[in-house]
Amino acid sequence: MLDPLKRALKSVLETVRRRGSERRIRETGRHVTRAELARDLAALGIAPGDTVFLHSSLKSLGYVEGGAAAVIGALQDALGAQGTLLVPTYYLPAGTVRATCELEGYVFDPRVHGTNMGRLPETFLAGAATHRSVHPTHSVAAWGRHAAWLTEGHHHAPSIFGAGSPWQRFVELDGAKVLGLGISMGPVTFYHVLEDALGEAFPAAIWEQRTYRLPCRDRHGQSWDVPVRPFTAAATANRIDHPGRGDLRDYFQREFELAGLKTNGAVGAAQAWVIPGRAFFDHLERLAGQGITIYSSPEQLAARPPGRS
Ligand SMILES: CC(C)(COP(=O)(O)OP(=O)(O)OC[C@H]1O[C@@H](n2cnc3c(N)ncnc32)[C@H](O)[C@@H]1OP(=O)(O)O)[C@@H](O)C(=O)NCCC(=O)NCCS
């Protein structure tokens, strides 16, 4: 079959699948509105003027009247005119960072490429986002007061999460908060900020030897080579977001709750949580000093129970 035909068929099948999946949620889920979500976000601690880095599961919220756009609207309502919203709009055309680095002919272009991070990031990119960072694997989209500054330096950063990246800038802001809507402590990018800040002093060997330089274009069409150093296969296989590491997810949840840094609440039908950015970073650094990271073995976790000072 010809490639364009294959692509068209795939797209039709995906549309049909999505309609069926949405209908099921509409018929069986609790219905929630933008106004209700905005109230819940405020009750969770999202305040006007905050800068929020969001990780989300749309279907965990119940059936949202107006879909993903209504969730984004609710976040904008809670953040107000002075607030900022950051959304992971990462694009990994080969599935992983490592495989994307090896992908023949790949040139990232923020004007062309979408995201594989879920419905909310997809919708954000198509509508509310005003800025998007230039990065071949970890492009971030943003709206609001700090959107331009947070995203503009990414392709000049020495590493994905390093100095000048959206995360390193985010952590400097008062009112920076990491927000999880219907997700565990697993798929949270913020952990990597400490790794890139500590570099070789990070207490686990997590990077491959080689740093790739991947071509990108910015929104003016100018070309840039952006450094990407993949994680080793062993590191990703033992990390907190790996399906087999529920022990790490439980550990970090308990640890951050006992430290008084993780606020839990309900947003629509979802379990949600929020952790202030600066305190998140400082606590990760403290834990790393005690040998605990998002790659720790069950034995390392057992040797330092959650909440130990
Ligand atoms: C993987 C992940 C996105 C899956 O969550 P999800 O809720 O199943 O998927 P999405 O958020 O993309 O939402 C799509 C689902 O919303 C549902 N949906 C559609 N319309 C809806 C509506 N109006 N209201 C509620 N749900 C709706 C559909 O069931 C759809 O499922 P489908 O993809 O099977 O069609 C989520 O678990 C996750 O990990 N999120 C974090 C991602 C991230 O930030 N990663 C970066 C750090 S590593």
Q: Whose CA is nearest to atom 34 of ligand 1?
A: 21
Q: What is the pLDDT of residue 147?
A: 98
1 pLDDT higher than 60 = no
Q: What is the pLDDT of residue 170?
A: 98
Q: What is the CA radius of gyration of the chain?
A: 19
Residue 118 Cα: closest atom of ligand 1 = 12
183 in contact with ligand 1, CB cutoff 6 A = yes
Sign for the CA dihedral angle at 88, 91, 92, 98 comes to negative
Whole-angstrom Cα distance, residue 169 to residue 176? 10
Q: Region 46-58: what's the mean pLDDT? A: 98
Judged by phi (left if over 0) then psi (alpha if -120 to 50, else beta), residue 212 lies in beta
21 in contact with ligand 1, CB cutoff 6 A = yes
85 in contact with ligand 1, CB cutoff 6 A = no
Sign for the CA dihedral angle at 180, 160, 209, 108 comes to positive
309 pLDDT higher than 90 = no
Please provide residue 112's backbone torsions phi and psi, each rounded to the nearest 5 degrees.
-115, -45
pLDDT band at 97 (very low <50, low <70, confident <90, very high): very high
Residue 188 Cα: closest atom of ligand 1 = 47
Percent of the chain with pLDDT over 70: 99
Whole-angstrom Cα distance, residue 124 to residue 116? 12
Which token pair is 163?
A: 């100095």
Q: What is the pLDDT of residue 2?
A: 62
CB atoms near residue 246 (< 10 Å)? 12
Please provide residue 276's backbone torsions phi and psi, each rounded to the nearest 5 degrees.
-65, 135
33 in contact with ligand 1, CB cutoff 6 A = no
Helical pair 277-289 and 191-198, crossing angle rounded to 10 deg: 60
| Residue to substitute in 34, 87, 119, 191 for testing ligand 1 pocket (most ligand atoms within 8 angstroms of CB) | 119
Whole-angstrom Cα distance, residue 61 to residue 67? 10
Query: Which among 219, 176, 190 is positioned nearest to 85, based on CA atoms?
Result: 176
